[in-house]
Amino acid sequence: MNPCPVFKILCINPGSTSTKYAYFENTTCLSSEDINHSHESLLSFNRIADQFAMRKKAILDDIQKKGCCRLDQLDAVVGRGGLLKPIAAGTYRVEEKLLTDLRSGTLEDHASNLGGLIAADIAAPFGLPAFIVDPPVVNEADDISLITGVKEIRRRVISHALSQRSAAKRYAEEVGKPYETLNLIVAHLGGGISIGAHRQGRYADVNNALDGEGPMSPERSGTLPAGQLIDLCFSGKYTHQELKRLNRGKGGLLSLLGTSDFREVEKRVLDGDPEAIRITEAMAYQIAKSISALLPAFHGQPADRIIITGGLSRSPILMNPIRRFLAAFPSGMTLYPDTSEMQALASAAWRVLSGHDKAKKYA
- β-pairing, 202-206 vs 305-309, is unpaired
Count the alpha carbons within 13 Å of 127 in the hemisphere toward its beta carbon.
0
Helices (H), 151-248: 161-175, 226-233, 240-247
Mean pLDDT score of the chain, rounded to an integer? Answer: 94
Please tell me whether the overall predicted TM-score, pTM, comes out greater than 0.75 for this model. yes
Residue 361: inside a domain, yes or no?
no
Domain co-membership, 64 together with 189: no
What is the CATH number for 244? Answer: 3.30.420.40
Domain co-membership, 75 together with 209: no
Share in percent of the chain as helix, strand, coil (round to 5): 40, 20, 40
Residue 3: inside a domain, yes or no?
no
Q: How many domains does the chain have?
A: 2
> Does the pLDDT value for residue 9 go beyond 50?
yes
Domain co-membership, 167 together with 242: yes
Residue-range definition of the domain harbouring residue 164: 143-331
Average pLDDT over residues 24-40: 91
Domain co-membership, 277 together with 159: yes
% of residues, the chain, pLDDT over 90: 86
Burial 284-322 (b: 16+ CB within 10 A, else e): bebbbebbbebbebbeeeebbbbbbbbebbebebbbebb
> Does the pLDDT value for residue 1 go beyond 50?
no
